[in-house]
A and B are shown apart, each in its own frame.
Chain A
Amino acid sequence: MFAERFLPLINSFPNDADALRRVANYFEDLENRQGERVFKVRLHANRLFDISQAGSTYRLARLIQILLDANLLERRLIVRSPLGGGVEYRSHEAIPSVVLDPLRDVEMDVTEENLEASYVVVANGSN
């Protein structure tokens, strides 16, 4: 179970244990319903805020950093097309200033308006 990988973290980070437990419960429930598809999860920071009930953006940032450091989640950057889809990058450095929007076949400027972070599950420590 993916959720079991949270147990050491819950013990190691007592200040964030409640939020970590909620995230673990979310993944456990999802895995019970969706099985292996849990490894396809991709969450926006807003959704992680709701799942973890982190309470503040500072605590959410700290929680996300714990999950990134533990190699449970990995950050991906999406340049979002107005049509809904997007082009994915693994780091800010890799993002050009202009990208081709494949849904519309037009070039679009990358701005803070259309750039968003999402968090994907790291299956078996690598993704």
Chain B
Amino acid sequence: MLNHKDAQLAQLIFRLLKQATSQQLVKNFLKEKNIPTSALNWDDLFAKRIEPALNESKITIDELRSLLKDVEEFGRQHTFLFRCPPETAKKIISRVRIEKIAEEQKLTSLLTTPLDLELPEDPTLVDIRIIQPDKNQPPTGLVIKMVETRITKVLLAETTDFDAGRMTKTYSVSRKRAVNIAHLDANGLLELRIASRDNQSRYLDNLKALQVKISKFIPRDGFAPVSLSTAKDKLLNNRKMLANEIRYSHSSARNDFGFVMNVSSSSQEENLSTDDGSMAALDSFLANEGHVTGTNIYVKIPDAEPQREIHILLSGEVNEFAVPIWCSSGDYAYVRGKILTLNQ
């Protein structure tokens, strides 16, 4: 039986899961533990399935937290890639160094137990993980998680007062949890993943805020942005070779004289690369000082049953790509690997 404190913690983690993922994903997790999954709705799922399973120790708080980690750290994010020499990365992620900085910053507890925060007043580091699969070998990576509270607004009404010459728009506002991740690999690749914003497409301020917050652990100096221009060009130029792996939905290109070309498929379900006219126009544009500046693709996940695709946006800053839907860590790793391979 859970004590009062753990029961409250379980409710909090459940609320965060509810915000971050689908019921199906939580049900899949329960199924793996041989726990029944039928439920009328989210709250029913907690009351009838999760809470009893916790009380009977069929699942633990740590497992629930681990599920939250998996579902909220991948997808619905804009990723910015940077690189430093592997020797520098290895020094940065050394356990002795990270533990010393954590102690100086009074964050040592985050190395063992993440902070379960729902809507913090200020952006807060909640988890610091040194990835070290083999304790006899140096760490292979460092993950730092920052949670912040964002305000979202929805237009409710618009009223016009002609006598006063005024129009008033009324919005409902709500607070929303946003999870941002920094992941430095021993090979020197640094990923800064910023939670997607509902009504904004530029992320430089959010990126800077994360960089500042983690700067004691991962300094800004010494990291160069990884331009994804090669991947963008190859995605278009090698589209015949990639036909079984990638579906194209939109491409934008610009030439060195400032001319812009946008081509889109008829719907998100269609494949732009099957339209010879659009492709011929784009090829011709690219052959005359043109470069792909943005592309909107669906990457097919191999051997997935049923077949599924992960939507990727490659646009914005030179080192930016986005995964606009939630996905598993495995799917995310696959699409990131695909982009990096194409970028070589």
Q: A interface vs B, CB < 8 Å?
A: 30, 34, 37, 40-44, 46-47, 49-50, 55-57, 83-85, 112-113, 118, 120
| Contact in complex: A44, B202 (CB < 8 Å) | no
Is B291 among interface residues, defined by CB-CB distance under 8 A?
yes
Q: CA–CA, A30 to B224, complex, Å?
A: 27
| Contact in complex: A49, B318 (CB < 8 Å) | yes
| Contact in complex: A50, B229 (CB < 8 Å) | yes
Q: B interface vs A, CB < 8 Å?
A: 200-202, 223-225, 227, 229, 252, 254, 256-258, 260-262, 289, 291, 293, 317-318
Q: CA–CA, A57 to B318, complex, Å?
A: 10
| Contact in complex: B227, A57 (CB < 8 Å) | no
Residue of A nearest to B316 (CB): A46
Q: CA–CA, A37 to B261, complex, Å?
A: 19
User: Which of A43, A44, A56, A84 is B224 in contact with, Cβ under 8 Å?
Assistant: A56
Chain A residues with CB under 8 A of B201: 113
| Contact in complex: B261, A57 (CB < 8 Å) | no
20 A-B pairs whose Cβ atoms sit less than 8 Å apart in the complex: A30-B256, A40-B257, A42-B256, A42-B257, A42-B258, A43-B258, A46-B317, A46-B318, A47-B256, A47-B291, A49-B227, A49-B318, A50-B229, A83-B262, A84-B260, A84-B261, A85-B260, A112-B202, A113-B200, A113-B201
Query: Given A84-B261, A113-B202: A30 and B225 within 8 A (CB)?
Result: no
Q: CA–CA, A118 to B259, complex, Å?
A: 12
Closest 7 CB pairs of A and B: A42-B258, A84-B260, A55-B224, A46-B318, A50-B229, A40-B257, A49-B318
Chain A residues with CB under 8 A of B252: 84
Chain B residues with CB under 8 A of A112: 202
Q: CA–CA, A50 to B229, complex, Å?
A: 8
A84 CB to closest chain B CB (Å) equals: 4
Residue of A nearest to B200 (CB): A113
Chain A residues with CB under 8 A of B293: 44, 46
| Contact in complex: B258, A118 (CB < 8 Å) | yes
B312 CB to closest chain A CB (Å) equals: 18
Q: CA–CA, A47 to B260, complex, Å?
A: 13
Residue of B nearest to A56 (CB): B224
Chain B residues with CB under 8 A of A43: 256, 258
Q: CA–CA, A55 to B319, complex, Å?
A: 11
| Contact in complex: A50, B225 (CB < 8 Å) | no
Residue of B nearest to A82 (CB): B262
B234 CB to closest chain A CB (Å) equals: 14
B49 CB to closest chain A CB (Å) equals: 43
Chain B residues with CB under 8 A of A83: 262
A29 CB to closest chain B CB (Å) equals: 10
Residue of B nearest to A33 (CB): B289
Residue of A nearest to B222 (CB): A56
Chain B residues with CB under 8 A of A57: 225
Chain A residues with CB under 8 A of B256: 30, 41-43, 47
User: Which of B200, B227, B254, B262 is A44 in contact with, Cβ under 8 Å?
Assistant: B254
Q: CA–CA, A57 to B82, complex, Å?
A: 11
Chain A residues with CB under 8 A of B254: 44, 47
| Contact in complex: A50, B258 (CB < 8 Å) | no
Q: CA–CA, A56 to B221, complex, Å?
A: 9
| Contact in complex: A41, B224 (CB < 8 Å) | no
Q: CA–CA, A46 to B229, complex, Å?
A: 9
Q: CA–CA, A98 to B2, complex, Å?
A: 58
Chain B residues with CB under 8 A of A44: 254, 293
Q: CA–CA, A112 to B293, complex, Å?
A: 18
Residue of B nearest to A115 (CB): B202
A59 CB to closest chain B CB (Å) equals: 9
A74 CB to closest chain B CB (Å) equals: 13
